[in-house]
Amino acid sequence: MHRLSILVIGGGIGGLTAAIALRGQGHRVTVVEKDPAWAVYGVGIIQQANVLRAMKQLGLLDEYLSAGVGFDTVAVHAPDGTKVADVPSARLIDGYPANIGISRKALQAVLAARTLGAGADVRLGVTAAALDMGAEGVAVDFSDGSQGRFDVVVGADGVYSQTRAQIMPDAPRPEFTGQAVWRYNFPRPTDLGALHVYNGPTGAGLVPISAELMYLYVTTPEPGNPWYPRDGLAARMREKLARTAPAIRHLAEQITDDEEVVYRPLETVMLDGPWHKGPVVLLGDAVHTTTPHLGQGAGMAIEDSIVLAEELAGRDTLEDAFTAYRDRRAARCRYIVEKSLAICHGQIGKGPPVDNARATAEMFEVTAQPI
């Protein structure tokens, strides 16, 4: 397809990888991000071998790995702390690790630098207030009073996507799962060289993200989706760890800074049917929000970006490209959403318990398949 003028709404992981992939195909790309500071919260993220493969396709692999910590196994522990399995994950790129832990700030810095370096126009503190689709593309009214016209608009604006709401007002809304996740950064012990997962009604995990840092994530049942004030949030997180494994309880003593606690209710969305309307197409959490139990939420958005750029390059019409993009992505993304939710429901008694080691090994096999 000829070079297009493309607006990407959202300057997070999905939006930036989309901008990088689309610039790589020669398209003119504008990114708008509502946060004028372009900030991310300061905990980490786990990404598996399929994401390393995707980063290689984007030409980012070495910068990406230098910003995080690579590892090849997932250690699975029983609720009492006993290790029950080491789940190996296959390396998909010779000479590189299978997985990486990386801080979200470091990942954002890598993606932002490449997006700007690739020549995308990035506008901060701006949203797309209105989209008017017509024969000549999409006329966009921006929140700063400016206007623009684009051949394609990519909605990469997350679980509460305003783009989705504008083009698909009847689409399902995010659904609360009954569980939430808490995260906190700690100094990293020198012997922590893998992801360590602790099963139980209160699940936990330790993830290395740099030479100096690791983070703890904790999943807890939260009936009624309560709201917790910022003041006292560290104490609440410590309380949630009272019945976890000894290693996790020991760390709880260091959770003292309310401002450093990241708390998020877990929600899911899986959009059936088309992922586009006219020249406006969605990706990432805007169409398939998953819980973090398999560590693949950001990975699915990154893969979306690559596939979308490939289909725009290889098809004669936008309709054909968007349909092929959705056809390549839907089953894989649905698998991640549904399997992750099954683990979540098993932890809080809304479904049968799931063997985390087996589910993780299966996920590695599925995501190792080409995108």
* Total-model pTM: 0.96
The pair of three-digit structure tokens given for residue 48, joined into one six-digit string: 């598996």
- What are the helix (H) ranges across 168-245? 233-240
pLDDT digits (tens, 9 = 90+) for 89-129: 889 999 999 999 999 999 999 999 999 999 999 999 999 99
The pair of three-digit structure tokens given for residue 320, joined into one six-digit string: 């054909």
Residue type, 198: Y
pLDDT at position 135: 83
- CB-CB neighbours of 258 under 10 Å: 16
pLDDT at position 87: 87
Q: Whats the size of the chain, residue-wise?
A: 371
pLDDT at position 322: 98
pLDDT at position 89: 85
3-state secondary structure of 171: coil
pLDDT at position 360: 87
Unique residue bearing structure tokens 């995080």: 68
Low-confidence ranges of the chain (pLDDT < 50): none
User: Are the C-beta atoms of residues 102 and 68 closer than 8 Å to each other?
Assistant: yes
pLDDT at position 356: 81
Those residues whose C-beta lies under 8 Å from the C-beta of residue 305, and which sit 6 or more positions away, are 14, 17, 18, 20, 21, 22, 156, 283, 284
Those residues whose C-beta lies under 8 Å from the C-beta of residue 27, and which sit 6 or more positions away, are 3, 4, 5, 6, 312
The pair of three-digit structure tokens given for residue 62, joined into one six-digit string: 């070495």
pLDDT at position 41: 77
For the chain, the helix, strand and coil percentages under 3-state DSSP, each to the nearest 5:
35, 30, 35
- What are the helix (H) ranges across the chain? 13-24, 49-57, 61-66, 104-117, 162-167, 233-240, 246-252, 297-314, 318-348, 356-367
pLDDT at position 90: 87
Cα angle 275-281-286, degrees, rounded to a multiple of 5: 65
Residue type, 168: M
**What structural domains and CATH numbers belong to the chain?**
5-70+102-174+267-352 (3.50.50.60)
CA distances from 202 to 222, 294, 295 (A): 11, 16, 17
User: Are the C-beta atoms of residues 44 and 104 closer than 8 Å to each other?
Assistant: yes
pLDDT at position 199: 87
Whole-number Å distance between alpha carbons of 307 and 312: 9
Q: What sign has the CA pseudo-torsion 255, 207, 174, 301?
A: positive
CA distances from 93 to 63, 99, 285, 305, 306 (A): 15, 11, 27, 20, 17
3-state secondary structure of 211: coil
pLDDT at position 209: 95
